Structure 1
Amino acid sequence: MKKVCLFLLGACMVCAPREKDFMALIELDGWEKTGEIVFYEPETLYDYINGEAELYHSYGFQRLRTGTWTNPDDVSMVADVYDMGSPVNAFGLYSNYRYPDYNYEAIGTEAIVSEYDLRYFQDRYVVEIRASDASRETESAMRLLAKKISAVLPDTAGWPRLLQSLPAEGQTEKTLRYTARGTLNQSFFPEGLTASYEIDGEKVLAFMVFFPSLSSAESGWHQFSEFHAPVSDWNFGGQTRSFYADTPYHGILAAILQDSIITGIRGLHAPEQGLELMSKILERIQVSR
């Protein structure tokens, strides 16, 4: 009897129709869904975006679904929906393509729009749409497809709270970035935030690096100070774990270790130039976790 039940259960599993993926259900007037939705897992992503796969993996890539739509004029649009596992990872990947002079629209949480492509992040997803021409009709179709995909994705996260760690006041618009590992291109640094500010008419870069423990922060602080040696004591606001150094390419860098966070500013003419901004950054540490 047990064998019969197992057989029937297996037969039901084979015969049951598979649920269609949400991408396959999206319809656009004047456009036809071409082929099946294709899925890529972490181990196969290199087959699709070999040159950029490492970047996506660094932000915790989970799964990609991709589909193509074509109109009667043989113009095509390809939509890629990347599941990055968390909203902060989705923003982090998206932020690599974010620049102040780009065109932005309110699709998803935020979208970058150009003639041939559209990219946005929403919740734990990054959506990228590419078109084979730049006509007004195709641009309109790209926006419509983006909005239809957005409508079926989760939309509860908004802007990740971690992004509030660096002060918004004085921050150059669209320069905030999240790096999942290797912040400031330092291999010994884990996740962190960077953003541009303007002080006395000059651009500087503020940063905040988040370590998982006090001991790992101490180790990172030691390696960071060794990397920029020789360094000078800063003693900012009575902080004993602080230094400044004259770097070869980024002006003066001033840094502080507080708890499990290293924060600082680079691009200064003198350490004193960063006093006001550093004070504001230290105030924000309380909301960083």
Structure 2
Amino acid sequence: MKERQLVSCFLFVYLTLGVVHPLWASNSDWKAFAFPEVTGWKQSGEIQTFTPKTLFEYINGGADLYLTYDFQELKVAEYSNEKKASVTIEVYRHRTSIHAFGIYSQERLSDANFLDIGAQSYIEANVLNFVAGPYYVKINSFNTGPDDREILIAFAKKVSETLGERGALPSILSSFPEEGKKKNSEKFISKNFLGYSFLHSAFTADYSLSGTTFKLFVIESAEKGDCKDMIEKYLQRTRNPGQNISEGLFNISDPYHGEIDLCWKGEYIWGIFNAKDLALRSKYLRLFEEGLQKRK
């Protein structure tokens, strides 16, 4: 009986909606996705699929960066119209929404024209990129003339609707102090923060205040012990011995990044570098701590 109902249900979908090819349905965490139909446009050629092992075939030279952000799969579709214009849609699926934001943040232009599509999106001539949940979507247009912006937005909205989730930017970004922060400068570094393998993923943001430019960062760990281990290894690597490894403030002379002030409390390590003024460093460490406390 259940098998008959399943067949009937599939037949109903087939007759009413036509054949739908779900691209991602093997994992229950991923919703089935099919490239949308767009009025006046037709898909040209077959949908291309790339995995971590084959991604270099599509973006040779850039695949390694995507792989550091737990890239899972890429689907690519091309569309064309009667005016010989074309649009290419690339949908990158990453392991988590944070990893998707991470690769998006690496390619995002901070001074771009931002739109309200997905968790965040931006548009430039012949390019519209957006992030939504674990998906990073890149849309490129060719020979679209004066209608380029309208065409890109139409495609982006269709893809966003098909993905079925708007998502949101990582909540920890709200902990960064607002004063002096450069808009849309936030990034997620997935591995080897500051070039050290023992400092795993970190969120960063750029700041400018009274002619001084500096950077803030935060590392979120699953366990308190991980933070202690990271700080201990950092002190050893930078030859800053003699500091008590307990929650609190650390001043580190990093041979590659200069003087760094960082704090450890609970599962968070947050810090500031490229700022020489002691009062400024203290102020922003305090503001950052207040922002992190609001998350609890």
TM-score (norm 1): 0.82
The one of 29, 32, 38 aligned to 1:27:
38
Aligned equivalent of 1:266: 273
Change (3 A) 1:252 1:134: farther
C-alpha displacement of 1:154: 2.6
Q: More deviation in 128-137 or 145-154?
A: 128-137
List per-residue Cα deviations over 1:218-259 (Å, max 9, x = no partner): 22102222343448979xxxx864222455665532112222
Alpha-carbon offset, residue 132 of structure 1: 2.6
Q: Is residue 231–residue 243 contact of structure 1 (8 Å, CA) maintained in 2?
A: no
Structure 1: stretches of 5+ with no match in the other structure: 1-8, 10-15
The answer to whether 1:185 aligns with 2:192 is: no
CA contact (8 A) 1:206 1:266 kept: yes
Aligned residue for 2:161? 151
Q: Secondary structure at the match of 1:195?
A: strand
Q: 1:213 aligns with which of 214, 223, 232?
A: 223
Contact 1:182 1:189 in 2 (8 A): yes
> What is the SS of the residue equivalent to 1:62?
strand
CA distance in 2, matches of 1:89, 1:55: 11
Q: Label 1:276 to 1:71 Cα distance change in 2 as closer, same or farther (>3 A).
A: same
Residues 25-104 of structure 1: matches in 2 within 5 Å? 25-29=36-40, 31-104=41-114
CA change 1:241–1:158 in 2 (3 A) is closer
Measure the CA separation in 2 of the matches of 1:115 and 1:203: 30
Structure 2 CA distance, aligned partners of 1:102 and 1:231?
44
Cα offset, 1:140, TM superposition = 2.2
Amino acid of the structure 1 residue aligned with 2:71? F
In structure 2, do the counterparts of structure 1 residues 233 and 203 end up closer, same or farther at CA, with 3 Å as the change threshold? farther
1:107 partner letter = I
Aligned to 1:224: 234
Paired amino acid for 1:162: I
Q: Percent of pairs identical after alignment?
A: 24
Q: Give the SS at the match of 2:70.
A: coil
Paired AA for residue 128 in structure 2: L
Indicate if the aligned counterparts of 1:107 and 1:150 stay in contact, CA closer than 8 A.
yes
RMSD (Å) for aligned C-alpha atoms: 3.0
Partner residue in 1 for 2:26: none
What secondary structure is seen at the aligned counterpart in 2 of 1:96? helix
Is the 8 Å Cα contact of residues 34 and 162 (structure 2) preserved in structure 1? no
- Using a 3 Å threshold, how does the CA distance of structure 1 residues 147 and 195 change in structure 2: closer, same or farther? same
- Map 1:227-242 onto structure 2 (within 5 A): 227-230=237-240, 241-242=248-249
Q: State the Cα distance separating 1:81 from its structure 2 match.
A: 0.8
CA distance in 2, matches of 1:139, 1:231: 56
Rate the CA distance shift 1:34–1:261 in 2: closer, same or farther, 3 A. same
How big is each residue's C-alpha offset from its partner over 1:104-153, in whole Å with a ceiling of 9 and x where there is no partner? 22222211211121111012211001123462223321221111101111
Moved more, 152-161 or 206-215: 152-161
SS at match of 1:281: helix
TM-score by length of 2: 0.80
Whichever residue aligns with residue 153 of structure 2, its letter is R
Aligned partner of residue 268 in structure 1, secondary structure: coil
Does 2:292 align with 1:285?
A: yes
Q: Which residue identity lines up with residue 286 of structure 1 in the other structure?
A: Q
